[in-house]
Amino acid sequence: MPDVWDAIMVGAGPAGSSLACRLSVLGRSVLLLDSARFPRDKLCGEYLGAGCLPLLDQIGVLAEVRRLAHAGRMVSVWSPKGVAFTARYPEGSCSLSLPRRQLDAILLDRARNQKSVEVREGFRVEKLLIEDNRVRGVVGRLAGGEAETLRARVTVGADGRNSIVARGLGLFRWRSSHRRLALGRHYDGIRPAGEGAEIYLGRSLYGILNHQRDGAANVNIVVKGGGFEVWRGRLDAWFDALLDKLPRLRARLESARAAENVRALGPLAHYATRVAVDGVLLAGDAAGFYDPFTGEGINMALESAQLAAETIHGAIAAGCVSCRFLGRYEVLRAASLRNRYGLQSAIQLVVGCPRLMEFAANRLRTRERFANRLLEVVGGLRRPGDLFLPGRS
């Protein structure tokens, strides 16, 4: 174990594990920490848009993910009044879906097998190590163990919406204008098994059914505003009450069997005021998350890891891990994701207004090429500006 690691990853989800893999290939030493022990469950839509596939291939896990995942060619959407439209990926492209306990375990095992990566599961980071006004690593411990001080040239917060790295630096902020909660449960016996995700729009809520292997499905309902305090301890009953507001989704689940109790997570929308400071980067959900409707969370995590690896490697090679060098990640990430967040906001404006929902559903029902292009954009195959290329209707 080196006295000073090139990078410490706090969080071993898709962002942290894939970043560890990329840095190892570049010859960097990495310590990958997570408070959980894997495999572990995590409330998530479990949707990997088509743009995730090349990113998974680059770190050598695509074949294993495809072996276990359900492949989808399309997304079907129903408005509150029952207007339906379908968007399809181009020939040769598809989305994938598999439980996070499987996906995260595959990524973590890949990182663990890299020669310059050490993995510590069950290690809880308690605080950042700050010396000379700069982050120099972390302090934490295994359950029941003594506190350890771990030093690194760069510390990466890849520890999600409750990021101790982002919060420890005072960078974390809630998006007060977009307060949503998610409730999720897996089902068995979904028939017939669809070719992709199904989205059911309601008033102040929506539901997403994401097919997985062997008739299984992941079902999430995202609802505006509060409710958690009222339904605390009765999440299954709350989920059932919300299904009453989404009758088409309820009908879809009639013959299915709930595989677990309902879990809830929220508020969802948050951001970091900075994603790069002296000695620190934020990746994945630790850097920000808006809304699960477009299913871009895992794609953004994998993409941010790609950008972070390039930046960290270059900064260490230059012998300077100040914001002067690490700030390049902030620039690259903004260029890559800013327009996508803008598109997400526009979609949420439509989803939040019943008249706009019905108008958009009717338009997309008769404009197949534009609907397909929209799916390519939110699936990570295209950039938002491609929506308005000449010849697209």
pLDDT by residue, tens only, the chain of 393 residues? 789 999 999 999 999 999 999 999 999 999 999 999 999 999 999 999 999 999 999 999 999 999 999 999 999 999 999 999 999 999 999 999 999 999 999 999 999 999 999 999 999 999 999 999 899 999 999 999 999 999 999 999 999 999 999 999 999 999 988 889 999 999 999 987 778 899 999 999 999 999 999 999 999 999 987 776 767 789 999 999 999 999 999 999 999 999 999 999 989 999 999 999 999 999 999 999 988 998 899 999 999 999 999 999 999 999 999 998 999 999 999 888 778 888 888 999 999 888 999 999 999 999 999 999 999 999 999 888 888 776 544
For residue 333, CA distances in Å to 173, 251, 274, 323, 327 come to 18, 41, 11, 14, 10
Q: Do 207 and 342 sit in the same domain of this protein?
A: no
Does one domain contain both 12 and 106? yes
Full domain range(s) for residue 253? 180-265
The DSSP bridge partners found for residue 74 are: 88, 196
Q: Are 261 and 186 in contact (CB under 8 A)?
A: no
- Within a domain: residue 387? no
Whether 193 and 303 share a structural domain: no
- pLDDT value at position 224? 87
Instruction: Count the neighbouring beta carbons within 10 Å of the beta carbon of residue 143.
Output: 9
What residue type is 291 in one-letter code? Answer: D
Residue 57 in any domain: the answer is no
Is residue 134 a part of any domain in this protein? yes
Within a domain: residue 85? Answer: no
pLDDT at 393: 44
Same domain, 129 and 12: yes
159 and 219: one domain? no
Residue 68 lies in a domain: no
141-180 pLDDT, tens digit per residue, is 999 999 999 999 999 999 999 999 999 999 999 998 888 9
Does residue 40 sit in the same domain as residue 186? no
Pair 234, 127 in one domain: no
CATH number at residue 207: 3.30.9.100
**Residue 30 lies inside a defined structural domain of this protein:** yes
Q: Are residues 33 and 157 in the same domain?
A: yes
Query: Same domain for 10 and 106?
Result: yes
Whether 201 and 293 map to the same domain: the answer is: no
Q: Does residue 187 lie within any of the structural domains?
A: yes
Kindly state the greatest CA–CA separation across the chain.
64
**Residues contacting residue 309 through CB under 8 Å, at least 6 positions apart:** 19, 22, 23, 26
Tally of domains within the chain: 2
Q: pTM of the prediction?
A: 0.95
Contacts of 155 (CB under 8 A, 6+ apart): 7, 8, 10, 128, 135, 136, 137, 138, 165, 279, 280, 281
Q: What is the pLDDT of residue 244?
A: 96
Residues 212 and 296 placed together within one structural domain of the fold: no
Q: Is residue 391 part of a domain?
A: no
What is the pLDDT, as a whole number, of residue 392? Answer: 44
